[in-house]
Amino acid sequence: MINELQASKSCYFYKQHRPITAKAISAVFRTVRAGQIAPSNNHFSYNREQYGNAYWSALCFQFDRKPAFLAGSTSIMERVSGYLLIVEYEDHVAVFKSQLDLPAEFVKTHLVRMSAQSIDNGLTSEDAVFDRVRLRHMTTSRLALRSKTLEAPDLRNAVGMASSGRFAPLGYSFLQDGEHYSTTPRTGRISQRSDRSGYEQLVRFACEIIDQIKLKGEVASAGFLSAFARPMELSQLKAVPNQLGVDTALLQDAIFELNEIRFVKPDGACHRELNRLETEEVLQELSTVFLVEKTKTKLLLKDPVSGAEVGEIVVNKSRISFKQLDLPAIKDVAVERADLPVGTDADRIPLRRFIDRTDTFIVLFDAPQFAYIDGSLYRDDSLTNGGASFLGYLFKDKELAKVTDEKGDFKATQVAFDSDSTFGVILATIAAEDDIVVCDDLGDEWADFIGLKTDPGAPRITFYHAKHGALSLGASPFHISVSQAIKNLGSLGLPAAKMRSKYRKWRKPYKNDSTTTNISRFCKGDAATAVAGMNLCRDAPHTMKRVAIVTSSLSKAAVSDAFKSIQAGGNADPYFVQLYWLLSSFFAACAEVGAFGCVICQE
């Protein structure tokens, strides 16, 4: 019956860790059958048959399964068929499958996940034409865009590469030598678009891909992929981890959208499924970005607020693993397959081990060019080249050196903001090119100030977010302003439906600290010109949109010096690394909505 097998050329590739014997394959088949309900006799079963220099093993049978769309207590069963085809070749293993999977113990003992670097380098060439790529931002920030998917007939002609180095490619599809491929390096899955094929064709396909990866695995990635963060071997890393975040978005999708897994807890002698509220509480606790503290022998996870020790990680030559994670919300929580009745998954594992096994986390380092994402290490050299690109988002204003307060003091007779406040400097020098400036501070604010340049040939909207503080290279002074700026990006288009309430607010004098002043919120221009300017900038298709964080707490020269120190081989200050990641997230978030994000600071 093996001759009746017709399947797509899509399989999972591994490196072979230990030799696979006929005895091991027999044990795999017994375990797979034992894990199913009412398995039939095998439709076919082959153990390490030779095909050229390769060996293949195959198993197929039918079994019962409770329908995923019915309650776990139902007695209704559906009959399904599943198969496994295992190909061994040149110290690699390829697995074709449907409805069945390899036992976790076999994978742990005999197989090692292939690195993203090997797949990227081995599978693609300079001639490859990419039509789809899924990207993950190299940040743990909860404020930033986490991932995005791009599609076009030829992405080289449709994607701006300027900020691509901040993203790591997690999956992509491309055309090469007349064949269309897709891959997800984090899982080792590689597919070729083709008609369904018989088992011999599948074995040949697996061998051809393995030959290609072995031949080109050390060659640089194709030109398009090289524009993104580059995968590299963890054994080459010298930097020390300093932050870790669990990728709760992946867990959330797997539970609520894809219905692949569920969270369960012990309930007497059985297990019960966590309801939606309980599951969301677990995900909320896991969304904390933990600090990593290095001791003489350990890498400890610390709560960023309390400083309490909550876990430990280990950096090995091939991967980073969780050794421990102690959080109240995840105690006794385990993960099961959602397609099996509750409590029957023989491979049920604790949530901490599931996160570790599936590499559902991201790690950042004291050397800011590195990020460990989905089980692979990526490098972005834009941080070690002197910071030219990053510094291009920073603009200096000498008047900010005189600032002593964000908003200043207020009196009932006051008609202008204090000149030594950040508000005063914005109006005096920073927004000088704007024709209209409105103060939107307090209440339902989009920004502290909204500036409009009403030149019909080059209209511009700017949201100004003001801050003041002591000079620092840390991220703390920016968290609130970055959060506010990203939250209000959707209002950059000045939505007409919300303008009536804005005009009502702006026509009243500025009030702060219970003091109603004589400061007009129309700081430049009046109500009539503001309405006309808002309409012009909203309706013009070529309006430039800017978001500026204006602060006295940062010096562009100090940032430049920090980059020069890193470029010269000095250690990166972890607080500067956090600042870099936070502001990079802000700049990237602005770019995603077609805006230019920047920081205006001291010289």
CA angle 512, 514, 517 (to 5 degrees): 55
Burial of 132-165, coded b for 16+ CB within 10 Å and e otherwise, reads ebbbbbbbbbebbbbeeebeeeebeeebeeeebb
Structure token digits, residue 576: 């500067």
Number of helices and strands (H, E) in the chain?
Answer: 15, 33
Nearest CA to 17 among 84, 113, 103?
113
* Structural contact between residues 123 and 212, judged by C-beta atoms closer than 8 angstroms: yes
- For 564, the enclosing helix (H) or strand (E) is helix 556-567
* Structural contact between residues 84 and 59, judged by C-beta atoms closer than 8 angstroms: yes
Sign of CA dihedral 388, 394, 400, 403: negative
Helix locations, 217-290, DSSP H: 223-226, 248-252, 276-286
With a cut of 70, list the residues of the chain below it in pLDDT. Answer: 72-73, 138-146, 158-166, 217-223, 381-386, 476, 571-575, 578
Q: What is the pLDDT of residues 482-510, one digit of tens each?
A: 888 888 998 999 999 999 999 999 999 98
Amino acid at 306: S
- Cross-strand partners of 551: 467
Rounded-to-integer distance, Cα 315 and Cα 311, Å: 14
Rounded-to-integer distance, Cα 460 and Cα 548, Å: 13
Rounded-to-integer distance, Cα 105 and Cα 107, Å: 5
pLDDT at residue 585, rounded to an integer: 77
Q: What is the pLDDT of residues 241-272, one digit of tens each?
A: 988 888 887 788 889 878 889 999 999 889 99
Place of tokens 């996940």: 113
φ, ψ of residue 578 to 5 degrees: the values are -65, -40
Place of tokens 């000149």: 419
C-alpha to C-alpha distances, 211 to 14, 202, 204, nearest whole angstrom: 13, 14, 10
Rounded-to-integer distance, Cα 461 and Cα 499, Å: 15
3-class SS at 156? helix
What is the radius of gyration, based on Cα positions, of the chain?
29
